[in-house]
C-alpha cells in the first residue's frame, strides 16, 4: 500500500460513505485526488470485480482511520489492501480522518502528500503538489477506444422509430442519462419507468 517511490501526492478530499469504498476508489471523478474516508472502518466486506466503476483507477491515494485485516462477505473476492496494491493506489491507515476532514471542510480541497520518504523529500514534494483546478482530467479518464452500450431491447434507433428521419413518439419518457466513465451506474436503467 505504500507509494512506489515513497511519496504519494494529490488533492486531498473527503468522502462520507458508510459503504461503497470500492466504488468511490474506482470512480473516475476522483482523478488526481487523495480520498479521505470519514467512516472509520474501511475494507470490512472486501472487494469484487463487479463493483468497479471503471476499468482502471484514477485516484492518487486513500487515507483511512482503520483498514480491515479480514474481509467478511459472500461476494468478496479479496481484501482491500491487496486490491489497492494491485491497482497501484497508495494508502495510509491510522490517521485521525475526522480531524483531517474538518480541516478540508473548513479550508477546501488541498494539495498534499503522504508517504514513507524522509521529511525533506516529503517537504519538497509538498512544494510541487498542485490542486486539480485547471487540469484537463477528462482526457486522463476517458477511454481512448470508447465503448458501445447496447439497448436493453437489442434494437437500434431506427427499429424503435427514433433517430434521424423519424418522428419522436416517446413523449413523456423519463430516465437517467449519464455520460461519465462509471460502469455500475447502468443498474439504474432497470428502475426507471415510462410515464
* Residue 54 maps to a domain: yes
* Residue 146 maps to a domain: no
Rounded Cα gap, residues 31 and 25, in angstroms: 10
pLDDT at 56: 86
Instruction: List the CATH number of the domain containing 24.
Output: 3.50.30.20
* Residue 147 maps to a domain: no
Is 47 strand, coil or helix?
strand
pLDDT at 80: 96
pLDDT at 157: 53
* Residue 145 maps to a domain: no
Rounded Cα gap, residues 109 and 49, in angstroms: 30
Radius of gyration for the alpha carbons in the chain, expressed in angstroms and rounded: 20
Q: 447496447: which residue's cell?
A: 150
3 band by pLDDT with thresholds 50, 70 and 90: confident
Bridge pairing between strands 110-115 and 7-15: antiparallel
* Residue 188 maps to a domain: no
* Residue 68 maps to a domain: yes
Residues constituting the chain = 195
Instruction: Count the domains in the chain.
Output: 1
Write the pLDDT tens digit of every residue in 32-79. Answer: 999 999 999 999 999 999 999 988 899 999 999 999 999 999 999 999
For residue 123, give its domain range: 7-138
Contact 28, 180 (CB under 8 A): yes
* Residue 123 maps to a domain: yes
Is a pLDDT exceeding 50 seen at residue 190?
A: no
* Residue 182 maps to a domain: no
Amino acid at each position: 500500500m505504500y507509494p512506489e517511490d515513497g511519496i504519494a501526492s494529490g488533492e486531498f478530499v473527503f468522502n462520507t460513505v458508510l459503504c461503497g469504498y470500492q466504488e468511490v476508489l474506482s470512480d473516475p471523478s476522483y482523478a488526481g485526488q487523495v480520498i479521505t474516508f470519514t467512516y472509520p472502518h474501511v475494507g470490512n466486506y472486501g472487494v469484487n470485480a463487479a463493483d468497479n466503476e471503471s476499468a482502471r483507477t484514477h485516484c492518487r491515494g486513500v487515507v483511512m482511520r482503520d483498514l480491515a485485516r479480514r474481509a467478511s462477505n459472500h461476494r468478496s473476492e479479496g481484501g482491500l489492501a491487496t486490491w489497492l496494491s494491485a491497482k497501484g493506489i497508495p494508502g495510509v491507515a491510522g490517521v485521525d480522518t475526522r480531524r483531517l476532514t474538518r480541516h478540508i471542510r473548513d479550508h477546501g480541497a488541498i494539495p498534499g502528500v503522504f508517504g514513507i520518504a524522509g521529511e525533506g523529500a516529503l517537504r519538497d514534494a509538498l512544494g510541487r503538489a498542485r490542486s486539480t483546478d485547471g487540469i484537463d482530467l477528462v482526457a486522463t479518464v476517458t477511454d481512448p477506444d470508447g465503448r458501445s452500450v447496447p439497448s436493453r431491447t437489442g434494437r437500434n434507433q431506427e427499429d424503435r422509430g427514433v433517430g434521424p428521419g423519424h418522428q419522436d413518439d416517446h413523449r413523456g419518457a423519463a430516465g437517467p442519462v449519464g455520460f461519465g466513465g462509471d460502469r455500475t451506474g447502468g443498474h439504474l436503467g432497470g428502475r426507471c419507468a415510462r410515464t
